[in-house]
Structure 1
Amino acid sequence: MRKYQELSLEQIIEQVRMDKLVSDDFCLYGKEDGELALARSYWVSNYPDVVEERDIYPADVVEQDLQLVYYGEQLIDVLSVALEEITEASHQDLVEALNYYQQHDSFMKFED
């Protein structure tokens, strides 16, 4: 995923779904943390560096006063698992899976 751009969660999901992204070398940042929303926009940038056990966020993130919302590795994993379970998942299904993972640190099970 291209970094240093703002995308809606819907656009991010489409990129992951259509491009079959395997590179997870990005993080999503936003004005607020908490539950993800389909129409909300997120900034795509680098992972924070860890220095002396502290996260040092990228300059572009600090300049915009953004907060870490999702690690790319987790985002790709959650979307991949959800799409394996239900290939025709709606965007809202995928947002629910992402939010579920954030709250429970486990993958959401979809009902058959």
Structure 2
Amino acid sequence: MRKHQELSLEQIIEQVIADQLSSDDFCLYGKEDGELELARLYWVSDYPDVVEDSDVYPTDVAEQDLQLVYYGEQLIDVLAVALEEKPNASPQDLVEALNYYQQHDSFMPFDD
């Protein structure tokens, strides 16, 4: 995943899948927290550094006053599990799985 750019969540999901869910060295940041939306734009950047038990956000994130939305490692895990359970999942299905994980700290079950 290329960092230091703004992409829609749909573009991010497409890129992560194209990378075969392998590169998790990124985080998503946004102007607001809350539920993820397919068309909303998110900033892709580095993980925050931890200094004295506090997160220090990358300079590009801090300058734009953005909030951490999703860790790359978690995003990859959620997408991998969702696609394993439902290989033909739509982009909207994947967004729902990501939102479910954020709310419940567990993977969304897909009913066939």
* Bin of the TM-score, shorter chain as denominator length: over 0.9
Give, in angstroms, the shift of residue 12 of structure 1: 0.6
Say yes or no: does 1:38 pair with 2:38.
Answer: yes
**In structure 1, distance between residues paired with 2:47 and 2:60:** 12
Q: How many residues align?
A: 112
Give, in angstroms, the shift of residue 18 of structure 1: 2.2
Contact 2:30/2:69, CA 8 A, preserved across alignment: yes
Say yes or no: does 1:98 pair with 2:86.
Answer: no
Contact 2:21/2:76, CA 8 A, preserved across alignment: yes
Aligned runs of 1:1-112 on 2, under 5 Å? Answer: 1-112=1-112
- Helix, strand or coil at the partner of 1:107: coil
Give, in angstroms, the shift of residue 101 of structure 1: 0.2
Identity of aligned residues (%): 82
When normalised by structure 2's length, the TM-score is: 0.98
- Helix, strand or coil at the partner of 2:13: helix
Q: State the superposition RMSD in angstroms.
A: 0.6
**In structure 2, distance between residues paired with 1:104 and 1:65:** 27
- Residue type matched to 1:24 in 2? D
